[in-house]
Chains A and B, each alone.
Chain A
Amino acid sequence: MPKQMKPISNERARWLAAHIVPHEAALRAWLRGKSSLGFDIDDIVQETYAILAAKASIEAIANPKTYAFQVAYSVILQQLRQSRVVPIAAMADIGTLEAVIDDPSPEQTLLARDELERVQRAIEALPRQTRTAFVLRRVEGLSQAEIAKRMNLSEHTVEKHISRGIKSLLAQFGRGGNKAVQASKDKTGPIERDDDAQTNRKIH
C-alpha cells in the first residue's frame, strides 16, 4: 500500500462513476455465486475499488467491466492464499472463475433500472431534512455552504445530512441482484407486482 494515501481526484471519481459503478450489481451477483469460497462480498468490493482507485493510470483499461472482474478475482485469490486452509469446494470453484471473466460482453454503461429504483427508494426513505439537503446537493448541485444558507442550518448539520445520505447509498447500491427476473416469475396477477419494500399487502 502506498505510504501517502490521498482521496481520489474528481476525475477518477467520475471515471469510476461512469465505468465501474454501472457494473457493480453484476459484480456482486457474480460474487454471490462464489460464496462457497467463504469471502465477504463487501470486503471484495471495497478492495476492488481500492485497487482501481489507486491505479496510476486508467488509460490502458479497454474494458473496465472485465478489468473490474479480474481485479476482484485477484483479490479473492490473494485472500485464499493468505488463509491457511483452503476449503475443498473452493478449489473447484476457482476453476470456474475464469470462464466468466473471459466473457467478451461489450461495455454496458447504463445503470440497471432496478438499481436506480433501489437508490430512489433509499433516498425517499430518508428523514425529510436529510432528503432535502441531499437532493439539493446531488440534484441541484448546490454546495454544502449554500444548502446551509438555503435551509437555515449550520454547515456542520448539513454535512451530517449529506453523510447520512451517502451512508444510505453505500448500504443500498448494487445489492439488487436479479430481483427483476425473480419478481416476474413469482408474480401472481397483473396488479400484484410490486416493490419489495411493501411486503405487507392488505388482504380483503
Chain B
Amino acid sequence: MTTTHRQTAKSIDRDAAEWAARLDSGALSPDEENTLQHWLAGDTRRFGALARAQALMASPEIADAIAPARPRLVPPLGRRGFLTAAAASLAGAFLIVSRTEYGEVHDYASEVGEIRVIPLEDGSRVTLNTNSAVSVEYRPHSRLVKLTRGEAYFEVAKNPDRPFIVSGPAAQARAVGTAYSVRLGDDKHMQVRVASGRVAVEPPPSAIAESLRLSPIADNGAYLDANQQADVKVVRDGRWGGQVQISIKDVPPDRVERELSWREGLLSFEGETLAEAIDEFSRYSRQQVVLQGAVARERVSGLFSATDPTGFARAIAISLKLKTRKENDAIVIYK
C-alpha cells in the first residue's frame, strides 16, 4: 500500500462502480482482464470497493427500494414505453385498481413490520402503519378512504368542496384539511386521534343511504379538535344504520406526537407496562416475546425500533435488571 499518493476512498468507489458496470455487461477482453488485475493489485481497498459494489447490485432489498416505490398512475411521457411493464408487475404487489361508477378505486396495503407512505393525487398523504390496508376512491364531491385493516395517518390537502372521509366499520372520520390517525381495533372498535385541524366523527352511511348515493356527510356525529381522541364502539348493528357510541377525551400534544412515532418506524413508551409494550411490538414483527411472572407489570420508557423486538428485549433487560433467554423461536423475559 502506498502512503505517498494514497487514493481517496471516494475516488476508489468511482473506479469500482465503472468496473462493476463493466463486469455486469459481460466477459472481459484479455486486455481488460489485465487492466483490472493491475488496478486491483494497487490497493486492497479497491478489491473491497468492487466487492461492495457487486454486493449492493446483488441485494434484492435494494432492488425493491429502487422499484418505483410510489405507484405512478400516469408515468411521465417518454418513460411510459419502457416502464409500463415494470410498473405493472411491481406496483401490482400492493396497488390494485378497480372501477366503480365514480371512478377508480386504489387499494394499498402494508406488510407486517412495514410502514408505507402513499402520496395521493390530490396532494394528501397517507402513512400506513404495519399490517394495514386502505382503499381510496375519488368521487366528485368527496374523497373516500376505507380503512380495512390496521392503522393509518392522514395528512389532508385542503379542499372544502371535497371532504376527506376515512371510514371503518364503526364510524367515519371526516376532515377538510387536517392531520389525523385512524386505528381499527376489532370489528366493533375504532380510534381516531387528531394531530391538527378538526375532524367530524360520525356513523358511516347506512347501506341504504349508500345505495341511494346520498351525501356521505352524516352530520350527526361529534367534532374532534387537535389533541383529542375519539373511541368509537358499535353498540347496535343494523342494516338501517347501527348505533355507535363515541367517547371523546383530550390527549396531551406530546402524547399525540409520541404515539405517532410509528411513522418513523419507532415505538415510544412512557411508563406503559411491559405487557402493553410487548403487545404493541407484536403488531410489527412475528418475533414472539414471552413475559414470565411479575415482569409483565414493570414499566418501560424510551424510543425503540418497531421492528426489532429482540433489541427492545435486550435493552429493557439491561435497564430493568431482568434476564432474557431464547426458547424455541421465542424470547423469554424473566426475573
List residues of chain A with CB under 8 Å of any chain B CB.
1, 3-5, 7-8, 10, 12-14, 16-18, 20-22, 40, 42-43, 45-54, 105-106, 108, 110-114, 116-117, 119-120, 123, 128, 132, 134-140, 143-145, 150-151, 155, 158-160, 162-164, 166-167, 169-171, 173, 180-181, 183-184, 187, 189-191, 193
CA distance A116 to B64 in the complex (A): 9
Could you tell me if A13 and B26 are in contact, using CB atoms closer than 8 angstroms? Answer: no
Could you tell me if A140 and B17 are in contact, using CB atoms closer than 8 angstroms? Answer: no
Closest A residue, CB atoms, query B117: A117
Residue B320 at the chain A interface, CB threshold 8 Å? no
Query: Scoring B residues 54 to 70 as 1 if CB is less than 8 Å from chain A, else 0, what string do you get?
Result: 11111111111111110
Q: Mark out the residues of chain B between 1 and 37 whose CB falls within 8 Å of any chain A CB in the assembled complex.
A: 9-10, 12-14, 16-26, 36-37
Contacts of B54 in A (CB 8 A): 7-8, 13, 16
Could you tell me if A135 and B48 are in contact, using CB atoms closer than 8 angstroms? Answer: no
Could you tell me if A166 and B57 are in contact, using CB atoms closer than 8 angstroms? Answer: yes
5 of the cross-chain contacts (CB-CB < 8 Å) are: A13-B55, A42-B13, A46-B9, A113-B307, A162-B21
Could you tell me if B36 and A7 are in contact, using CB atoms closer than 8 angstroms? Answer: yes
Could you tell me if B40 and A105 are in contact, using CB atoms closer than 8 angstroms? Answer: no
| Inter-chain pairs besides A138-B62, A170-B56, A173-B62, 18 sampled, C-beta below 8 Å | A1-B41, A5-B37, A5-B41, A17-B56, A49-B48, A49-B55, A113-B115, A135-B66, A135-B68, A143-B25, A159-B24, A163-B22, A166-B21, A169-B17, A170-B16, A181-B266, A190-B257, A191-B196
Could you tell me if A10 and B69 are in contact, using CB atoms closer than 8 angstroms? Answer: no
CA distance A99 to B265 in the complex (A): 27
Interface-centre pick from B17, B41, B66, B308 (highest chain A CB count, 10 A):
B66
Partner of A13 from the list B47, B51, B90, B155 (CB cut-off 8 Å) is B51
Contacts of A135 in B (CB 8 A): 66-68, 83, 86
Could you tell me if A40 and B9 are in contact, using CB atoms closer than 8 angstroms? Answer: yes
Contacts of A106 in B (CB 8 A): 310
CA distance A147 to B41 in the complex (A): 32
The verdict on A105 contacting B63 (CB below 8 Å), with A171-B13, A180-B265 known, is no
The 8 A-B pairs with the shortest beta carbon distances in the complex, nearest first, are: A50-B48, A42-B9, A163-B21, A53-B51, A16-B55, A49-B48, A190-B195, A46-B48
